Structure 1
Amino acid sequence: MAVIMTKSVALDLSAAEGVTPAPAPAARVRLSGMPDDRAMLRAAAELTRDLHTPKPLIYWSDFIASALVGYAGLAVAILAPAPLVAVLGAIVAILALYRAGLFIHELTHVKHAQLPFFRFGWNALVGVPLLLPSFMYEGVHSLHHARTRYGTDQDPEYLPLALMKPWTLPVFLIVSVLAPIALLVRFAVLSPLSLLSPKLRTIVVARYSGLQINPKFERRAPEGELKTQWFWQELACSLFAIGLLAAVFTGVVPLRAFAIYLGVVAGVAVINQVRTLVAHLWENEGEPLTVTAQYLDSVNVPTPGFLPYLWAPVGLRYHALHHLLPGVPYHSLSEAHRRLAGALEESSAYHKANYPTLSGLVRRLAANTMKVRSAG
């Protein structure tokens, strides 16, 4: 992909209720070499000391309810004779399973001793049935938060999308539609074959074992506890994938039901990919950034409203705040935001990462890629 590098990054925050007015689109703020906002970092640490403990009841009830609603929607989509009811069931399934699936993000940050058996429960109810085991995120996502890796070519979850050509955005979304097919191939075909070929196994581990968007990133082989978790999760997913395909080929699972399952998983992947588009501004040129610069390259959408709870659930509408405080559980992020927004002056960097809408962020990203085309 052709990438045009620029020397600065634009920040355009739109005025909205509860959101600090933004500078005009023409205003430029250099991220490279930006010093840290010490007052913001100090306030973030001091004002949220009591918010770092996850509440198991909230996690379990939210996750289980989301999963059950999702599978109920999937059952309706498969069994309903009326097309409209089936479509509504599929929509419910996509949104609910999307929410349940996003708890994989919490798994990478929470201390497992504080949420006993949650990883196992998540993998059993969602990770294996959707072929998204937690090992594909654990050990990968933590690198995205590494101080010297964020936004560089060593970050598995970063691409300078705003500095790429316009066609990269639709390609980025189209790829997600193929996710369920790719996952079936990964676990039903590549996993068994890789047991017979050490060379193929090396490739599978490095290239096809992480939920990453950076094509340059290669994963290292797992060690310690993660190696054990990886083995059992991959085995479970392989057996599920092989069993599902065998059931389809033998007629036990009707093609229609299989197609709906694939469509729901694809829908979950597409919504997540859209959310990923607006999780950051994607304007870093590949250089290591300070914590403040990383925060400003990330996005909060704190404006009250129903839609953010659908497209950025489980605390992900506070994605910039999460980069500032990755140890705060999702159910405490809104309170952390309330405290920081009230305590910090308008001149603080904290207010400059708050945006009003998803659509505005998508338009911003698309407009930046158009500038790259003009420059090219």
Structure 2
Amino acid sequence: MEKALNPSTAPRAERARATRAQFIESDDKDMLRAARDLTKDLGEAKPGIYWPDMILSAGIGYGTLAAAILADSVTTAIAFGIISALALYRALMFIHELTHIHRNALPGFRAAWNLMVGIPMLVPSFMYEGVHTLHHKRTQYGTVEDPEYLPLALMKPWSLPAFVLVALLAPIGLLLRFAALLPLGVVIRPLRKMVWEQASALMINPEFRRKPAEGNLAKRVRWQEIGGFVWAWTLIGSISVLGWQPLLIALCVASLTAVINQLRTLVAHLWENDGEPMTVTAQFLDSVNVPPPGLAAEIWAPVGLRYHALHHLMPSMPYHDLPEAHRRLRKELGDNSTYDGANHSGMIELVGRIARSTMGVGRAP
């Protein structure tokens, strides 16, 4: 196959928008060098940002959830429920940071997040730790060994609504996992193996099977699963005291949170890879930045996730430093550079692009 022209070798004014296909075999080394050199003074996780952000988001989320439960009208309950879902969504997204920051960077933050957010939402950090990092391995990204990749742009049109709507059932599935499947797995070992391999990770690739946890992660799994079991039965037991309504409202809020995250996942990548390994540059261009201007992306892609492509260049960069890293790279590399190829205008444009691609697949003989 004839190799495509590397856009970085053409005069800037003549360059077309860079694409993944142009960098399957070789990297844009100038961009990678700039990413390294221009951000040397960044990268330190700041407790003064992480702790208040996480605690305030969780506090608003739980406070407005209580307001939704106690509301005296459906309209008021819906309004508080939406605010609660968005705030809890932001609090949940710190699970992404936990997988990348150095283990000694924020003492106590992982345990506090699990107690305040992860276990109450039945998404403890072990469901991401040891899994998400596989998505960043150069030889596994976009392949069948990547737990967080599906070639959605190459699938049938019905796959997109199905991908989003299945998230509505996530809270029920998590409640079932911790309340029933976990204790049954203690007695039925094959069930325990199946639950661990197929229902213990935030993944979208149905072919992925999780390997056994080891070392310190195995220890964290034990106490987090116990916490999830106790909390799941606390929620179920609350029905006898408070009735069905509080739990149903909480599940609706959690479902909305899951759907928002699934929509964000839908546009986190272009999903155009058919399973072959790619260079770092190709992975970057298959990923998505939705930079300013515009505040909407900060709501549906919080905690630095609006810079998801940049994150794939620098996975350990704290979320609060990504805007400055983006500004420096954008200024240095300019319009129509390889770096600019991963910058997109918003969710609507991205969903439309993926949908059009699936329509082409749907028309194929």
TM range (shorter): over 0.9
Find the residue that maps to 1:367 and give its secondary structure: helix
Q: Work out which of the residue numbers 83, 103, 109 in structure 1 matches 2:100.
A: 109
Partner residue of 2:346 out of 335, 357, 372:
357
Q: TM-score, normalised by structure 1?
A: 0.91
* Pair 1:44-2:35 in alignment: yes
1:258 and 1:361 mapped to 2: Cα distance? 35
Contact 2:170 2:258 in 1 (8 A): yes
1:262 to 231, 251, 255: 251
Partner of 1:316: 305
- Give 2:73's aligned residue: 82
Cross-structure match for 2:317: 328
CA distance in 1, matches of 2:20, 2:287: 14
- Cα separation, 2, equivalents of 1:43 and 1:98: 33
Structure 2 equivalent of residue 187 of structure 1: 178
TM-aligned CA deviation for residue 169 of structure 1: 0.7
Question: In the TM superposition, what whole-angstrom CA distance separates every residue of 1:131-153 from its partner, at most 9, and x where no partner exists?
Answer: 00000000010000011000000
Give 1:348 shift. Answer: 2.6
Mean CA deviation greater in 308-317 or 251-260: 251-260
Indicate yes or no: 2:244 matched with 1:292: no
Large movers: runs of 4+ above 4 Å? 20-24
Q: Quick one: distance in 1 between partners of 2:86 and 2:280?
A: 32
TM-aligned CA distance change 1:21 to 1:160, over 3 Å: farther
**Of 216, 223, 229, which aligns to 2:214?**
223
* Aligned residues of 2:16 and 2:336 also touching (Cα < 8 A): no
Paired residue for 1:208?
A: 199
Aligned partners of 2:19 and 2:285 also within 8 Å: no
Report the CA distance between 1:85 and its aligned residue: 1.5
User: Is residue 8–residue 28 contact of structure 1 (8 Å, CA) maintained in 2?
Assistant: no
* Residues 121 and 173 (structure 1), Cα distance of their counterparts in 2 relative to 1, 3 Å cut: same
CA drift of 1:319 comes to 0.3
Instruction: Provide the residue aligned with 1:3 in structure 2.
Output: none
Q: Matches of residues 22-101 of structure 1 in structure 2 within 5 Å?
A: 30=21, 33-101=24-92
SS of the residue corresponding to residue 149 of structure 2 reads: coil
Q: Deviations over 1:248-295 (max 9, x none)?
A: 1xx213211111000011011000000000000000010010000000
Is the 8 Å Cα contact of residues 112 and 118 (structure 1) preserved in structure 2?
no
CA–CA distance in 1 between the matches of 2:20 and 2:176? 44
Paired residue secondary structure (1:227) = helix
1:148 equivalent to 2:158? Answer no
* Aligned-pair identity (%): 54
CA pair 187-70 structure 1, distance change in 2 beyond 3 A: same
SS at match of 2:41: helix
Q: Does the 8 Å contact 1:191/1:238 carry over to 2? A: yes
Q: Which amino acid aligns with 2:31?
A: M
- Unaligned runs of at least 5 residues, structure 2: 5-12
Corresponding residue for 1:276?
Answer: 265
| 1:296 partner amino acid | L
Distance 1:178 1:136 in 2: 17
Is 1:307 equivalent to 2:296 in the alignment? yes
3-state secondary structure, aligned to 2:148: coil
CA RMSD between the two structures: 1.9
Query: Is contact 2:147–2:205 with CA below 8 Å preserved after alignment?
Result: yes
